Amino acid sequence: METTENKQENSFTMPRIGDKAPEFKAITTQGEINFPSDYKGKWVILFSHPADFTPVCTSEFMTFAHLEEKFDKANCKLVGLSVDGLYSHIAWLRTIKDKIKFNGMENIEVKFPLIEDITMEVAKKYGMIQPGEHKTQAVRAVFFVDPEGIVRALIYYPLSLGRNFDEIYRALIAMQTSDKFNVATPADWEPGKDVIISPAGSCGVAEERMTSTEDLKCEDWFFCTKPLDKDLVLKEIIKN
Ligand code: BEZ
């Protein structure tokens, strides 16, 4: 029978796109963090993994650590989490550096913080524990939090499926491009490809769009694209 007590124990929340990122204080492999206030002015990718010393997670951590500088140049910090303790995290990260080779990578040092969350306090706040998949291990969640501390996108993968880091980076750059240039990005967009301008909000604007001599390409009044120079996107978004 479900009692109030075990209802509370099993309860978990799930931040949605547009919500303020739930606040927490946590111990990590890089010291204590206050989230999201320590990251004001930066994008953050907060991601969870099921457990230390597991192969898919190891491949993901090596890939993220390898790409950390690339994310940093896009003003984005990485923060990992699993429902393991600090000493397990430290031992696992040391083992990765000392022993593991994957996809041409070796001697990989994970320098971004990895949160210890034995109590599952943070994992539950972020809906990272999905009991149908596993009762005590976090699924592979990725939260994109913007410089104002707002959740802008989330991706969830099951335990057995390693994430695609090109897609995580592409999504970050696409959201920053949308913010900077007030455009939307179509399927499979990447810098250099045409962007979508916001739909016409009136009959007059719809007509103007269809007859415009500007650099617009309208398939129909509701579907207009324009070029956006790759170098301009990169200059605005990527620090060298
Ligand atoms: C892994 O990271 O290899 C893994 C973790 C939990 C379940 C299945 C795979």
Q: Which pLDDT tens digit goes with each residue over 100-144?
A: 999 999 999 999 999 999 999 999 999 999 999 999 999 999 999
Percentage of the chain lying above the pLDDT 90 cut: 86
Which one is catalytic: 57, 76, 203, 224? 57
Percentage of the chain lying above the pLDDT 70 cut: 95
Residue 159, ligand 1, Cβ within 6 A: yes
Q: What's this model's pTM, rounded to 2 decimal places? A: 0.93
Residue 5 pLDDT exceeds 70: no
Give one DSSP letter per residue of 172-219, joined into a string: HHHHHHHHHHT-B--TT--TTS-EEPPPP-SHHHHHHHHH--SS-EEE
Q: For residue 98, report the distance from its CA to the centre of ligand 1, in Å.
A: 21
Ranking 31-35, 111-115, 185-189, 211-215 by mean pLDDT, the lowest is 211-215
Q: Which of 130, 139, 160 to mutate to test the pocket of ligand 1 (most atoms within 8 A of CB)?
A: 160
Q: For residue 41, report the distance from its CA to the centre of ligand 1, in Å.
A: 34
pLDDT of res. 132: 96
Residue 54, ligand 1, Cβ within 6 A: yes
Which atom number of ligand 1 is nearest to the Cα of residue 137?
Answer: 6
Residue nearest to ligand 1 atom 9, measured at CA:
160
Residue 134, ligand 1, Cβ within 6 A: no
Q: Is 203 a catalytic residue?
A: no
225-to-49, 118, 126, 185, 201 alpha-carbon distances in Å: 38, 48, 36, 9, 16
pLDDT, one tens digit per residue, over 15-51 is 999 999 999 999 999 999 999 999 999 999 999 999 9
Helix (H) or strand (E) holding 77: strand 76-82
pLDDT of res. 155: 98
Residue 220 phi, psi (nearest 5): -160, 175
Q: Which of 48, 52, 53, 57 to mutate to test the pocket of ligand 1 (most atoms within 8 A of CB)?
A: 57
pLDDT of res. 13: 83
pLDDT band, residue 187 (cuts 50/70/90): very high
Residue 4 pLDDT exceeds 50: no
213-to-43, 77, 220 alpha-carbon distances in Å: 37, 42, 15
Q: For residue 80, report the distance from its CA to the centre of ligand 1, in Å.
A: 15
Residue with tokens 């499926």: 161
What's the rounded Cα separation, in Å, for the pair 96 and 118? 21
Rounded mean pLDDT of the chain? 94
pLDDT of res. 135: 95
